[in-house]
Structure 1
């Protein structure tokens, strides 16, 4: 039986402690090595990310599947403030859309990519796209302002060389409805016409919307009726305006043909691009008798009972002035206005005199370029030099040309009690009332009576709407074509106001080159063409505004019947 040495236990104890210490050291070394490896991997991943991935993104920011360019930092934004009507209805707004360009250097397969893109954009040709994709340039536009569906299909192609850029595109929710007033902005976000052009800087720099005086509900009515009149009389063009006679606010205004603001014609001389409201200058015929008659009553204080001889035509300077339907007898002022006698009006103009008539026209804004919030405004065509014969012909709207907007503004100033108004398109928080008097209240009342007489007994009977008391004046004028008047081309216009006993609104419809139809018995004059269209507008607008018809209201033209012959009253 052997005995273990006492040192053997000590040795085993020492060996056990060494083993434990070695394991501890070995574990710490493994931990440190692992940490170094992890740290190294993190550094390597970051280096790859910084040098390769971010480098590619920086070189081709916006590639399909990569982060897209920020509008505010990468390029000038095309964002523009909204344009709204008087009730806040959107007329123009900016929406964020995607555009597509390519970096040909990164296009993997130009042929297959071109085949894919031409299916997405059928308006483009395969050759056109392929030419762009194999270009030596680093940037070529493929499609501006894509739809979301188009963008989704491009993403499905998976082509790394196709790049999305995001910016704002202008949208016009009302389409053609107000195109000549609102105008349009081009693909680069710059206003090209209308309010978009004249307020271009404000729309780009401010976020607050621009509110117009237009009411889209009235605009729909007006455009519909002008379009109907054009169709019924196979006309070339048409204009309609509805205005507040006391403030000059343009509540509705249409120039037809109009254009699609999303796709305007590239030809500035195209018929649909021409703004006939303010840029077109027209000889507006007998509607000018409103102003000649008002000048006589205001400046000469003649009584309505005064008569002027219309028996014979007037000859002056090689010109012969005659009546469309000659009465061949002396006519009172109400009769001259009611039957629209050129001869009688010329006699009144002679009494007023050249300087008197010119100054009166000027006071009403008919002799100078009109101030308005859009740039498409023309200058009146005035005889130069102005001779005596020009005074006579201008008295009934020949030889002087103004815009339809000038005509309705001047008419509003005559019927609203005699205060000069200035038409405007941008809504103010509080509309100021004019204090500039052009005629007396007494003259204004007489003119309203005369204008009512034209509708109740004269040339504009088809403008009558029971209970709304419309008053106005017709005008039919031959068009001046290359210096000569063409008997087969005419302008037919009616301008008036309602309710005429206390006017709130003025209305104008002008039809360019109407042609007779079976229903008009061969006529294409304003009484057949424009007056019925005005009646339809007034009837619809009156209902829209909640105006209660008053069929039993006193007719303010009744006191004038004493100056009308029995034959005329009974016609």
Structure 2
């Protein structure tokens, strides 16, 4: 064997010899060691991969938890999409007619960091949005924010026209807009919402106060339609009252006017109007005069309508009855003031005559017989001196003297010295006619059984019976004649109050009201109208309640009585007269 061949053999033996020094070579042991080494390397690699993926997914999970717990970032005035599309419940009248509903719309926004040429954007948008605020829009487009509203609630036509302009950096976001099919018909009852579809006034605000606003604040509202909220008003009667009131304010060139129709036994408000008013679809056009709800949020001295409560107080206190008489021959002088009658008879008057002739002297003597504390307590029972409780948020606090003295009690007896809301006066009037029960007013449906559970007996039933007689007596023989409607037996009491101007009563500026009920044999409804500073037909002087407020009641009842389900009665026994032609 050559030298080279021997070297190759020795190398081959050395390769397979894995034993210790002096040990015999073993081929099986050599292969077993190589296999273990490769297996260990593979396990190490897999372990490294598992550890790497574990760390990677832990980082991702941690970031997700961090993002989930972080507060949402407020960018400009943008709201989360689910809140932008959150539904409000429809408002419907007692018959299911829609008063307020949601419609889908879009709003225009810009991302200023993507805007290249702000001037070009404004120039193009102005071709579609002709009333665009150029200066304000330019400031938004040049700001450092990443989102800015440019125009809320676009029409479909405006959206398509802006899309056609192809402006980069602007877009559209879906929203919901509140729509009021009746416009101003029930403005002060329904109220309105702001640009973000949140209730601002009326029953819209009431709905938000019942929890809808809180749910929206935490993002728990839904885009799904909600159950409608049914109101107590009848939109047909509401439209009639508004037309009558609007006509009166134009006819008498008055500052304001209003009317309410109320169920005397349940407290439900079937119609309530205050004019000037506004269109809830565009409330900004109404201005402050239109926003004021004079029926529930305006306080006035209600004049001689308060004599109804003074007479009821005397009857209920037992100080007198319908056959009692009071000396009304001479004026009352007290505290530097002289109390006299507008159309004095100069003789002793019975209680029905005091009511019929609206005697200030006779009414003052009734109040004096009851006393100051009894007078104040009686008006408090009728809710005339405290803030009225109802669903409508716009309710004013009545005003009264800080300390009641005898002069205060006397003047308040005929409607001067206490200012209250017309709606409160109607609610108190219902207690005079419905058997003596005070029932808080409501703008939601209420059954008679539900009303009886919350009613408070404030008058004796006999007192209510006597007051029904006096209302009808005045309707037939007194200042309520202009409110009579054939077949419906309307009774009531006028109130002509001089307004206070610069601390003095102005005889040429009146606040006139008429408090009525019908049918007087079994009163079902109370109607109150008022008109602020009416002028005579000739445009000078002040019109009286009998010629301004009372005819408004007549028009309302004659047009709405059938809708309210009141059947007319004719003839002495109430049966219909049969006439042959």
Instruction: Give the drift of 1:72.
Output: 6.8
Of residues 293, 314, 319, the one that matches 2:311 is 293
Aligned residue among 295, 311, 314 for 2:332: 314
How far does the alpha carbon of each residue in 1:257-298 deviate from its partner, in whole angstroms, 9 at most, with x for none? 111223223998x11111111111111011011111111111
Determine which of 393, 398, 403 is the counterpart of 1:385: 403
**Which secondary structure does the structure 1 equivalent of 2:492 belong to?**
strand
Q: Do 2:84 and 2:196's aligned partners in 1 also have CA atoms closer than 8 Å? A: no
Residues 463-509 of structure 1: per-residue CA shift (max 9 Å, x gap):
11111000100000011234322222210000110001101110000
User: Which is worse superposed, 76-85 or 224-233?
Assistant: 76-85
Q: Which residue of 1 aligns with 2:254?
A: 235
Distance 1:430 1:437 in 2: 15
Corresponding residue of 2:238? 219
Match of 2:282 in 1: 263
Length, aligned pairs only: 484
**Preserved CA contact (<8 Å) 1:467 1:553:** no
**1:78 deviation in Å?**
4.5
**Offset of residue 429 of structure 1:** 6.7
Aligned partners of 2:549 and 2:431: how far apart in 1? 22
Q: Distance in 1 between matches of 2:542 and 2:573?
A: 32
Instruction: Say which of 458, 462, 470 aligns to 2:478.
Output: 458
CA contact (8 A) 1:78 1:188 kept: no
C-alpha contact 2:492 2:517 (8 A) present in aligned 1: yes
**Structure 2 gap ranges (5+):** 1-77, 216-220, 575-581
Equivalent in 353, 359, 363 of residue 371 of structure 2: 353
Which residue does the alignment assign to 1:509?
Answer: 529
Instruction: Indicate the structure (1 or 2) with the bigger Cα radius of gyration.
Output: 2
| Alignment deviations for residues 53-100 of structure 1 (CA, whole Å, 9 cap, x no partner) | xxxxxxxxxxxxxxxxx9975655453221111111122222221000
- Once the two structures are overlaid, the 10-residue window that deviates more, 420-429 or 497-506, is 420-429
Contact 1:113 1:157 in 2 (8 A): no
* SS of 1:433 mapped into structure 2: helix
Cα deviation code 1:359-406 (max 9, x no counterpart): 211111112111111221111111111001111111111101111111
Q: Which residue of 1 aligns with 2:272?
A: 253
SS, match of residue 450 in structure 2: coil
The one of 466, 490, 500 equivalent to 1:480 is 500
Give the drift of 1:118: 0.9
Aligned mates of 2:163, 2:359 — CA distance in 1: 73
* Partner of residue 58, structure 1: none
SS at match of 2:508: strand
For 1:390 and 1:134, the matched residues in 2 are separated by: 65
Q: Secondary structure at the match of 1:373?
A: coil
Q: How many angstroms apart in 1 are the aligned matches of 2:338 and 2:147?
A: 70
2:562 paired residue among 543, 564, 567: 543
1:92 aligns with 2:100: yes
The answer on 1:427 being equivalent to 2:427 is no
Contact 2:277 2:286 in 1 (8 A): no
**CA-atom RMSD in angstroms:** 2.3
Kept after mapping to 1: 8 A contact 2:508/2:541: no
Q: Identify the residue that residue 516 of structure 2 maps to in structure 1.
A: 496
TM-score (norm 1): 0.80
Distance (whole Å) between structure 1 residues aligned to residue 447 and residue 465 of structure 2:
30
